[in-house]
Copies of this chain bind each other. A is one copy, B any other.
Amino acid sequence: MAEPHDVHRPSGDRPSDPGDLNDPQPIIWMRPERGARGPVPAYSRERIAEVAIALADGEGIEAVTMRRIAKELGTGAMTLYRYLPTKEDLYAVVIDQALGYEPQEPTGDVRADLATFARRYRETLRRHPWLAHAVASRPVMGPNMLRGNERDLALVDGRGLGIDEMMQVVNLIRHWVTGATQAETAEREAALRSGMDRRTWQQRMGPYIGELLATGRFPYLDRMVREARYPSRDERFETGLAVLLDGIEARFPALAGRRG
């Protein structure tokens, strides 16, 4: 929330509009990767993001610090600021790079295409356990995100839906997948945090759950503990997805038939 200083103001800036004092920093993807003048840079945004992603995947997102990335690259922390003006910009680049881009051509079967889209998105978010959380916190607008948006909207195009409706369908799936994946990883991480194994977690939670059940005020929790078959995460995902797709076909019948 603190306003970063002007790293280097464009030399020929117009007499600053008194309405807004500091001309806002342009979004990271508008800043040129390097100017034509100085020595050739030793690193690049992409290389830095690559290291940050590896770090986040291997040791958790909280291991991603400027100093640590720099150390991994064999340089000083301040060097990174030649490439990325703030840590928020680092995140933007890291997220967009982690999202990546995988093409998907519409097959004419919208339901199948949307299912593939949902599964692909989930896989991406699961490959990087910090990603769902990161992507949900900010609008990203990077090149991969934007190309991905084109690809995803194409899956529901040509069926008579307006652009608003198309966005609605795609976002419905996106939001559910991010929400569900976050819940998945939150559960997993909480278990891991308490000593790296499932037993320790149950050891910690067991007495608490027992205490709760003893009050008799949590009949459904009781049933969850006693009756639940606990479908696998994959099964739960597939069921949720089927519900979603049923709903989409019910509300937007144009999407239901085969062919275009």
Q: Which residues of A contact B (CB under 8 A)?
A: 1, 20, 24-27, 29-30, 60, 62, 133, 136-139, 141, 146-147, 149-150, 153-154, 157, 162-164, 166-168, 171-172, 174-180, 182-183, 186-187, 189-190, 193-195, 200, 203-205, 207-208, 211-212, 217-221, 223-224, 227-231, 236, 239-240, 242-248, 250-251
The smallest C-beta distance from A257 to any residue of chain B, in angstroms, reads: 17
Does A186 lie within 8 Å of B221, measured CB to CB?
no
Q: Given B24, B167, B183, B245, which contacts A203 in the complex, CB threshold below 8 Å?
A: B24
- In chain B, what residue has the closest Cβ to A170? B220
* CB atoms of B163 and A223 under 8 A apart: yes
Cα(A153)–Cα(B164), bound, Å = 33
CB distance from A136 to the nearest CB of B (A): 4
Complex contacts, A172 vs chain B, CB 8 Å: 176, 240, 243-244
Cβ contacts under 8 Å, A164 to chain B: 228-231
Q: Determine the residue in chain B with the shortest Cβ distance to A184.
A: B175
Contact partners of A244 in chain B: CB under 8 A: 172, 243-244, 247
A79 to chain B, nearest CB (A): 26
A154 touches B220 (CB 8 A): yes
In angstroms, how far is the closest chain B Cβ from the Cβ of A161? 11
Q: Are B190 and A182 in contact (CB under 8 A)?
A: no
Q: Distance in Å from the Cβ of A39 to the closest Cβ of chain B? A: 28
Is the CB–CB distance between A27 and B168 below 8 Å?
Answer: no
When distances are taken between beta carbons in the complex, the residues of chain B under 8 Å from A230 are 164
On chain B, the residues within 8 Å of A136 by CB distance are 133, 136, 179, 182-183, 186
User: Is A240 touching B162 in the complex (CB atoms < 8 A)?
Assistant: no
Contact of B168 with A239 in the complex, beta carbons under 8 Å: yes
Which of B27, B139, B177, B223 interacts with A186 by CB under 8 Å? Answer: B139
Q: In the complex, A138→B201 CA distance in Å?
A: 14
Residue of B nearest to A153 (CB): B220
What residues of B have a CB within 8 angstroms of the CB of A60 in the complex? 1
CA distance A175 to B163 in the complex (A): 25
Looking at the complex, which one of B27, B200, B207, B246 makes contact with A26 (CB distance below 8 Å)?
B207
